[in-house]
């Protein structure tokens, strides 16, 4: 049987087995994984900002404790993902430099503001819900460290989604003003959540190759449709409406038809013109500078440990 590295790589991927860090892999496979995993990690870290905005103003100790746990989880997700990216031979510092200088992206969704407490619920239900729909298939990605990081992340995302759903249900069944606040948040977060799945398949630069390498297991549009199908009955259970008058059940397709997405808005936000792009990056750079002393202390401590065990 052909033992040339390319052939072994192809056979491993074809057999739905895992490529591990020490295995030979095409340069393009390596660089596309660094690109995707790094941007995924950046999304987790930046995603802490919109929600952290409400930790000091949570309406009860219980809600505050849940929100703090969730924001801490996002930091942990960033940690697993930067570690997975490092197995491909890149350093965390290099990836953070790329984020801070705008040479790498983070998910468009985090460039929208969290205007009311209900946004915390809409983010949990819709944004973490979309993340689960997109990330469960990534547990079967061909690259071992990424797939394994996803298994734990998906478990924690389920808690994130449930707490958001429960928060919205409480508001929806509350006073009229609370119901209106929940509906307003869903109206603002629905379309940007659909954009999380990426551009339409025919405008997706990476999908074909990413699916051939079994990194991406389903196309952007397929997962977006799956997410809409999940959300429609959940919105009904919440007693809230989705802001899309074109939403109709299509018996033939067995899916919900939905209205056109504003792709001009999507590409505009990716270009840096979303409502919060500048704030998010400014806060991120500031946090990185403020945290320099922690990194230096940890590095000095590690060096002493190494010295002591020499």
- Report the interface residues with ligand 3HC, using CB under 6 A: 35-36, 39-40, 43-44, 47, 74, 105, 107-108, 127-128, 131, 134, 195-199, 204-207, 210, 216, 220, 270
Spatial CB neighbours of 129, under 8 Å, sequence gap ≥ 6 = 161, 164, 193, 227, 230, 231
Question: Is the CB of 223 or the CB of 238 nearer to ligand 3HC?
Answer: 223
CB of 55 to ligand 3HC, least distance (A): 16
CB of 134 to ligand 3HC, least distance (A): 5
Token digits of residue 72: 């801490």
Question: Is the CB of 183 or the CB of 220 nearer to ligand 3HC?
Answer: 220
Please state, in angstroms and rounded to a whole number, the distance separating the CA atoms of residues 208 and 222.
14
Question: Is the CB of 134 or the CB of 163 nearer to ligand 3HC?
Answer: 134
Question: Is the CB of 44 or the CB of 119 nearer to ligand 3HC?
Answer: 44
**Crossing angle of the two packed helices 220-238 and 176-195, in degrees rounded to 10:** 170
Question: Is the CB of 175 or the CB of 219 nearer to ligand 3HC?
Answer: 219
Question: Is the CB of 99 or the CB of 238 nearer to ligand 3HC?
Answer: 99
Token digits of residue 69: 């746990």
Question: Measured between alpha carbons, how far is residue 213 from residues 16, 22, 141, 158, 196 in Å?
Answer: 10, 17, 9, 27, 21
CB of 241 to ligand 3HC, least distance (A): 23
Sign of the CA dihedral 122, 127, 130, 135?
negative
Question: Is the CB of 121 or the CB of 198 nearer to ligand 3HC?
Answer: 198
CB atoms within 10 A of CB 20: 12
Q: 259: exposed, middle or buried (C-beta count within 10 Å: 0-12, 13-18, 19+)?
A: middle
CB of 212 to ligand 3HC, least distance (A): 12
CB of 3 to ligand 3HC, least distance (A): 31
Q: Which residue has the tokens 């629905």?
A: 190
CB of 155 to ligand 3HC, least distance (A): 13
CB of 106 to ligand 3HC, least distance (A): 7
Q: Are 51 and 67 in contact (CB under 8 A)?
A: yes
């Amino acid at each position: 049987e052909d033992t040339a590295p390319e052939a072994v790589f192809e056979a491993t991927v074809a057999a739905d087995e895992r490529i591990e860090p020490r295995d030979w892999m095409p340069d393009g496979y390596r660089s596309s994984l660094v690109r995707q995993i790094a941007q995924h990690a950046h999304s987790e870290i930046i995603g802490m900002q919109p929600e952290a905005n409400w930790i000091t103003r949570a309406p009860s100790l219980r809600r505050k404790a849940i929100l703090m746990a969730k924001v801490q989880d996002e930091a942990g997700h960033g940690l697993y993902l930067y570690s997975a990216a490092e197995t491909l031979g890149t350093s965390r510092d290099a990836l953070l430099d790329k984020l801070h200088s705008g040479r790498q992206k983070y998910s468009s969704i985090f460039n929208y503001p969290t205007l009311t407490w209900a946004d915390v619920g809409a983010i949990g239900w819709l944004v973490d819900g979309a993340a689960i729909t997109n990330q469960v298939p990534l547990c079967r990605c061909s690259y071992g460290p990424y797939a394994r990081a996803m298994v734990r992340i998906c478990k924690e995302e389920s808690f994130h989604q449930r707490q958001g759903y429960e928060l919205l249900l409480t508001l929806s069944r509350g006073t009229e003003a609370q119901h209106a606040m929940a509906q307003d948040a869903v109206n603002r977060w629905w379309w940007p959540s659909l954009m999380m799945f990426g551009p339409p398949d025919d405008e997706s630069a990476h999908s074909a190759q990413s699916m051939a390498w079994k990194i991406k297991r389903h196309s952007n549009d397929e997962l977006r449709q799956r997410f809409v199908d999940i959300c429609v009955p959940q919105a009904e259970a919440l007693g809230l409406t989705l802001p899309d008058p074109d939403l109709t059940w299509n018996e033939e397709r067995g899916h919900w038809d939905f209205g056109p997405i504003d792709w001009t808005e999507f590409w505009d936000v990716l270009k840096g013109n979303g409502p919060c792009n500048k704030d998010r990056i400014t806060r991120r750079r500031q946090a990185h500078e403020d945290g320099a002393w922690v990194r230096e202390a940890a590095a000095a401590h590690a060096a002493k440990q190494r010295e002591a065990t020499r």
